[in-house]
Structure 1
């Protein structure tokens, strides 16, 4: 059997493996997926995980549950040497080791792009993984509990201040959903008032949501500001040490929650630790059929898709155009990649990846959204329904669709769950501090005579 090795179990990797499982004949090839996480994160649901509209586990699709004929390795690929047809794997425990392959599929995805801003690494949360979304929600809920027990003043004001950096889809959707949650929480905290909430969205460019037009983007800014948010355009984060935010505009304030959603960067595995061809952005050079290399200099039996690949965008009919790194493309590239790998195994011709955009849709909080397809723009409640409808159809497997729909239906009747489980991040604290029995070297209490 030929060995097909898939580096990364995100959108593109999951759908490639899933597609191969469905079509491979018994004994035709063996598929292996290497990923440090045992699940694929459906990232469009992370803003709703932040807001408590979706359970965290429902935004994660188990690899073992759905890839039953695929060998799964929990580890990180640290080096790719196509000259030797080997990759180096770093498992969760134990020494590094090498895997060999006949066919390589690189879908390692991108990483969060950061800058050397003072305090950023100590104070900020990312918004790329389920764990981060849960931590952001728990931090807000815990801050409300703490603020309600404090008198008005700097400490209470800091706890009720939230700052997001990044005005792309991830940042704006997470910001809008968390603002919706915070506003809804106020009815449970009579000690707090709406005027005490401070929500800041910081964007380095002169507009947010670059995927939509200028007018819809400006409408989103106005809609957020009407809800009490402050949007800082043409502004950069200068410092965040000890939660004290300094902006390039000169404004300063303390924040109890800082979320960094300022875009993606190429994966270091692809950028620095491979002999495969990469472009100036650190992305793998890919042909239209998702094969690595160029038409004149192809790399045999190596494929790539998703955020770590520079895929030509044939749909726009503009020379040099490449697909944008989003879930809509990654899912469809994974499906096409599986078909093309099968085609090469069976001596057939591969097909180019072409996908015409279905439009863009974003949630801005419960009951609020925006949708744009070319010149058609839908705003408000209808766009929010379109967002939910599209993503419940797009999330893989019927099992996940049903679970998500069940949570949404429950929320209609009973509202969102507002319990913080921040203590789960230190699960042994109560046991260690209160539950330990007396040590044998400690003297026993002597009863009074």
Structure 2
């Protein structure tokens, strides 16, 4: 049987494998998915994970549970040799090995695109993974807990100042969810007031959300202003060293939570392949999702889709003539890619990918949203309902739909869960603090608690603290 190897198990890769299982019989092809994670992350839910409205595990889809006939390899593809039809597979533990294939599907996705700005790599959170979303949520809640015990001053201001860099959909949505979460937390901390919290969104362009009309984007700005959140337009972040945000306007403020959402780029793994890429590092593909050379010649047995590929936008609306890197395109490209692979195996004709978006919808925090379709704009609560309805149905598998929608129902009745579990980053601290050690042990001298490791980049926020024990007898 021909072996179809899929590099990446995100939207495009997962849907390609999922539909191939549906449309191919068990003896028509062997399907293999290689991804460093064992799950698909439904990224449109990451802002709601930050806001505490979606349970983190509900925003991911288990590959092995839903890909019944696919061999799933949890490892990283670190090189592709298409001339030999092999990939180098590197696991987290163990030696790399070579995996052969007959057809390759490159859907390796994207990573956060950053610029060489001092402090960004050390201080900022991205918003591409479920782990980042959970960490942002826990940090916000933990900061409120710490700030409530401090007098008014610079340290409390730093803990309660929250910054988002990037005014696209991801940045606008997480900004709104962070503001919504903070407003809900204030009810639990009478020591703090609304004026103690400070929210800044930094956007280099003169407007936010280019996917919607200027009028709708201005409404979003007005809504955020009414909620005490400040948007800096035509402004660039110049430095974030030590959590001190220095802006191109000359403004400066200190923050403990800086979220970077200023764009994505193709996974750098493509540098280690002989497949053709374009100037931005993306895989070159035709509208039918076959890989092509710069001269337009088809590379046999190679396919690409999703953020990692430069897919032509046949509607003419895409930036630079290509589909924008978002979930809406990646999901549909994965489905079309599976159809075309099945057609190629059966000697049938291929179909070009073409999708004309019906609109854009964004959640701006609990009960607030914005929707745009052509000249039709919906704002406020109705748009928020549309946002939840669309994504509740769009997340793959009925199992995940039920979990997410059920969780929303419970939150409506019981309220969202706002307990932080920052201790998960160092779960052994409590055990090590009190664990008995041999007398004279250099790791932890008798009568002294184990040292708590510092969380890199979290100024003033070390690992979870516990009550220091009283000195104990040396012979315990």
Same fold by TM-score greater than 0.5: yes
The answer on whether the counterparts of 2:285 and 2:309 sit within 8 Å (CA) in structure 1 is: yes
User: Which stretch shows the higher mean deviation, 213-222 or 414-423?
Assistant: 213-222
Q: Which position in structure 2 is the counterpart of 1:183?
A: 183
Residue matched to 1:290: 289
Within a 5 Å distance, the mapping from 1:186-335 to structure 2 comes to: 186-270=186-270, 272-293=271-292, 296-316=296-316, 321-335=321-335
2:93: which partner in 1?
93
Aligned counterpart, 1:352: 352
Cα deviation code 1:188-234 (max 9, x no counterpart) = 10000000110000011111111112111121111111110110111
Q: Secondary structure at the match of 1:133?
A: helix
**Alpha-carbon shift at residue 315 of structure 1 (Å):** 2.5
Paired position in structure 1 for 2:121: 121
Q: Distance in 2 between matches of 1:104 and 1:168?
A: 32
1:391 maps to 2:391? yes
Paired residues of 2:34 and 2:73 also in contact (CA < 8 A): yes
Secondary structure, aligned partner of 1:132: helix
Mapped contact 2:439–2:474 kept (Cα < 8 A):
no
The answer as to 2:361 corresponding to 1:361 is: yes
How far off is 1:320 after superposition?
A: 6.4
Superposition deviation, residue 355 in structure 1: 1.1
Measure, in 2, the Cα distance between the counterparts of 1:227 and 1:136.
Answer: 20
Shift, 1:287, TM fit: 0.6
Indicate yes or no: 2:144 matched with 1:144. Answer: yes
Contact kept? 2:79, 2:88, Cα under 8 Å: yes
**Residue aligned with 2:432, SS:** helix
Counterparts of 1:386 and 1:318, CA distance in 2: 24
8 A Cα contact 2:3 2:30, kept in partner: yes
- After superposition, the CA RMSD in angstroms is 1.6
Deviations 1:158-206 (A, max 9, x none): 1000000011111110010110010111111000000011000001111
Secondary structure (helix, strand or coil) at the match of 1:184 reads helix
Shift, 1:317, TM fit = 7.6
How far the C-alpha of 1:374 sits from its partner, in A, is 0.7
2:60 matched to which residue of 1? Answer: 60
Unpaired runs of 5+ in structure 1? none
Cα distance in 1 between the residues matched to 2:327 and 2:81: 28
Give the C-alpha shift of residue 316 in structure 1: 3.2
136-145 vs 261-270, which moves further = 261-270
Distance change (3 Å), C-alpha of 1:91 and 1:385: same
Q: Where do 4+ consecutive residues of structure 1 move more than 3 Å?
A: 316-320, 440-447
* Structure 2 residue runs without a partner (length 5+): 447-471
The DSSP-based 3-state class of the residue aligned with 2:187 is helix
Provide closer, same or farther for how the CA distance between residues 98 and 445 of structure 1 changes in structure 2, counting only shifts above 3 A.
same
Q: Which residue of 1 aligns with 2:12?
A: 12
Residues 47-90 of structure 1: per-residue CA shift (max 9 Å, x gap): 00000000000000000100011001111111111111111111
Say if 1:298 and 1:159 are closer, same or farther in 2 by CA, change over 3 A: same
- 1:373 maps to which residue? 373
TM-score of the pair, normalised by structure 1: 0.96
* C-alpha separation in 1, matches of 2:354 and 2:233: 34
CA contact (8 A) 2:392 2:404 kept: yes
Match of 1:2 in 2: 2
Q: CA deviation at 1:370?
A: 0.3
Distance 1:175 1:389, change over 3 A: same
Structure-2 separation of matches of 1:282 and 1:399: 36
